[in-house]
Amino acid sequence: MKLLIKNALILTVNQNNEVLENADIAVEDGRLLAVGKVPEIFQADKIIDATNQIALPGLVNAHTHIPMSLFRNYADDLPFWPWLMEKIKPAEDHLSAEHVYWGAKLGVLELIQSGVTCFSDMYFYMDEVATVVKESGIRACLSGVLLEVADLGPTFMKAAIDFHDSWHGKADGRIKAFFGPHSMYLCGPEYLKETTTEALKRKTGIHIHLSESKQEIADCNEKYGKSPVQHLADLGMFECLTAAAHCVHVSAKDIELLRKHNVNVVNNPTSNLKLANGFAPVEALLKNGVNVALGTDGSASNNNVNLFEEMHLAALVNKAVNEDAESVPAQQVLRMATINGAKTLGLENEIGSLEVGKRADLILLDAGKAHYFPHHNPVSSIAYSAQAADVSTVLVNGQVLLENYELKTIDVEETTREAERMAFDLVSRENQT
């Protein structure tokens, strides 16, 4: 389909961060044919009038556990380890494929409504998440979780390998498969080496939690005599394209190792604040050449998957922590939520900016709402004023997934009803044990 978007204010997020006023976008065969000025000979099958709207690349949620929408508002106001080990993991023991399918569908519904066109996920029953991605039209990098618990390490490994070999490149190329070792504290050294070998064999990446809590740092130093970052580097894991979620407690030496090995850090401001794990040194990471993206984490530790909130927090908290009003400015957090996220997933040549030849993954925001006026600086408006509810239109691969706030590929009523049923079924099973 040939699609024309007219009269938009375009934030390209290209190398020069160009802003184009009253400009047009042409889409053909799922890619951007023109950005800014469209050839007169272009004949569109569909035209979208974007007057008073801001066009920008679709947001990339680079770390989440999307089926955990079922645990939203279930285990709040708890310290990290009791939250994880006493509430979340016991409930997850009762997960079924059906739970994950409807949890993923609810999560993807929310992602699309809030302007996320690509997400990176790590969870159980990943075939169900992939099915939701295929049906909904969104883009995703999916990692079947790997754990060495209760002698199930080999079972998880086989499932992750099978998942990659079955789903990588599927759904019109919208699905990319990584390997997802949960962490260095739930995966032993040899298991992490095996994971790295399998990922390298398939020329794919690794998605892992890293240096999230002080206890993780203390335990790793006691057990291995080194930091988690040094531990993974010594195991050779960073030979793979690596997305390291959190990196809250990292030293100057850790940061240098992350830079040296081109590790991509995913900052999760809300989750880290809510679980009282601290706040990642984003400014130091960026200044030392580390690519930093944004994620929401799962809805059990965030309560939503709203990347606009993460941009807002990333900009504000860094300023407060560093006592520097120029720390992590608006343009930087916009890049963290778009092109930096794309780079984290090895997709920077396909998505993350609005440039000719890239995939037509883009969103429109209604800038006619009161909180955008006066229109001094559109980039600032994204970081400090915009709300997820302002997303009016979403395209992935040139397919319209949301238009005038109406979802085109997911039945909202059915999804919310079934997800609610699955959530309470899951909790009731846990309460019966």
Q: Which helix H or strand E contains 423, and what residues bound it?
A: helix 412-431
Beta carbons within 10 angstroms of residue 204's beta carbon = 19
What 3-state DSSP class applies to 332? helix
Q: Report the relative pairing of strands 53-57 and 116-123 from DSSP bridges.
A: unpaired
Strand ranges (DSSP E) for 93-222?
Answer: 116-123, 139-146, 175-181, 206-210
pLDDT at residue 235, rounded to an integer: 98
Residue range 139-149: mean pLDDT, rounded: 95
Tell me how far apart the alpha carbons of residues 389 and 371 are, in angstroms, rounded to a whole number. Answer: 12
Residue range 87-113: mean pLDDT, rounded: 95
Residues paired with 325 in a beta bridge: none
Is the domain of 320 the same as that of 375? Answer: no
Residue range 185-190: mean pLDDT, rounded: 97
pLDDT at residue 432, rounded to an integer: 72
pLDDT in tens, 195-217: 999 999 999 999 999 999 999 99
pLDDT in tens, 58-68: 999 999 999 99
Is the domain of 363 the same as that of 328? Answer: no
Judge whether 201 lies within some domain.
yes
pLDDT in tens, 101-130: 999 999 999 999 999 999 999 999 999 999
Q: Is 381 exposed, middle or buried (0-12, 13-18, 19+ CB in 10 A)?
A: buried
Percent of the chain exceeding pLDDT 70 equals 100
pLDDT in tens, 228-241: 999 999 999 999 99
Check which CATH number belongs to the domain holding 46 and give it: 2.30.40.10
Tell me how far apart the alpha carbons of residues 386 and 373 are, in angstroms, rounded to a whole number. Answer: 11
pLDDT in tens, 384-413: 999 999 999 999 999 999 999 999 999 999
Judge whether 425 lies within some domain.
no
pLDDT at residue 292, rounded to an integer: 98
Is the domain of 275 the same as that of 362? Answer: no
Residue range 280-293: mean pLDDT, rounded: 98
For the chain, the farthest-separated pair of C-alpha atoms sits apart, in whole angstroms, at 68
The domain of 387 spans: 2-58+353-407
Judge whether 157 lies within some domain.
yes
> What is residue 212's DSSP assignment?
-
Tell me how far apart the alpha carbons of residues 206 and 243 are, in angstroms, rounded to a whole number. Answer: 6
Check which CATH number belongs to the domain holding 283 and give it: 3.20.20.140
Using the predicted structure, report yes or no on whether residue 429 has a pLDDT greater than 90. Answer: no
Tell which phi-psi region holds residue 93, choosing left (phi > 0), alpha (psi between -120 and 50) or beta. alpha
Tell me how far apart the alpha carbons of residues 317 and 327 are, in angstroms, rounded to a whole number. Answer: 9
Mean pLDDT of the residues in the chain: 96
Judge whether 427 lies within some domain.
no
Tell me how far apart the alpha carbons of residues 21 and 25 are, in angstroms, rounded to a whole number. Answer: 12
Is the domain of 374 the same as that of 232? Answer: no
Is the domain of 271 the same as that of 154? Answer: yes
Judge whether 424 lies within some domain.
no
Last residue of a domain, one of 344, 366, 387: 344
Q: Which of 189, 180, 157, 312 is nearest to 240 (CA)?
A: 180
Contact 120, 107 (CB under 8 A): no
Is the domain of 187 the same as that of 104? Answer: yes
Is the domain of 210 the same as that of 326? Answer: yes
Q: Number of folded domains in the chain?
A: 2
Is the domain of 193 the same as that of 323? Answer: yes
Contact 185, 219 (CB under 8 A): yes
Is the domain of 261 the same as that of 301? Answer: yes
Q: Report the relative pairing of strands 46-49 and 175-181 from DSSP bridges.
A: unpaired
Residues paired with 142 in a beta bridge: 121, 177
User: Quick one: pLDDT band at residue 433, thresholds 50, 70, 90?
Assistant: low
Using the predicted structure, report yes or no on whether residue 137 has a pLDDT greater than 70. Answer: yes
Using the predicted structure, report yes or no on whether residue 296 has a pLDDT greater than 90. Answer: yes
Is the domain of 251 the same as that of 237? Answer: yes
The answer to whether the peptide bond before residue 374 is cis (omega within 30 degrees of 0) is: yes
Is the domain of 158 the same as that of 113? Answer: yes
Is the domain of 222 the same as that of 371? Answer: no
pLDDT in tens, 327-363: 999 999 999 999 999 999 999 999 999 999 999 999 9
Judge whether 37 lies within some domain.
yes
Using the predicted structure, report yes or no on whether residue 428 has a pLDDT greater than 90. Answer: no
Last residue of a domain, one of 320, 344, 368: 344
Tell me how far apart the alpha carbons of residues 1 and 125 are, in angstroms, rounded to a whole number. Answer: 34
pLDDT at residue 26, rounded to an integer: 98
Tell me how far apart the alpha carbons of residues 134 and 140 are, in angstroms, rounded to a whole number. Answer: 9
Residue predicted with more confidence, 430 or 409: 409
Tell me how far apart the alpha carbons of residues 73 and 299 are, in angstroms, rounded to a whole number. Answer: 8
* Contacts made by residues 76-85, CB under 8 angstroms, sequence distance 24+: 76/274, 76/303, 78/275, 79/275, 79/276, 80/212, 80/213, 80/215, 80/275, 80/276, 80/277, 81/213, 81/215, 83/275, 83/300, 83/301
Judge whether 415 lies within some domain.
no
Contact 206, 181 (CB under 8 A): yes
Judge whether 305 lies within some domain.
yes
Last residue of a domain, one of 344, 368, 388: 344
CA angle 152, 156, 159 (to 5 degrees): 140
pLDDT at residue 217, rounded to an integer: 97
Concatenated DSSP letters for 185-199? Answer: TSS-HHHHHHHHHHH
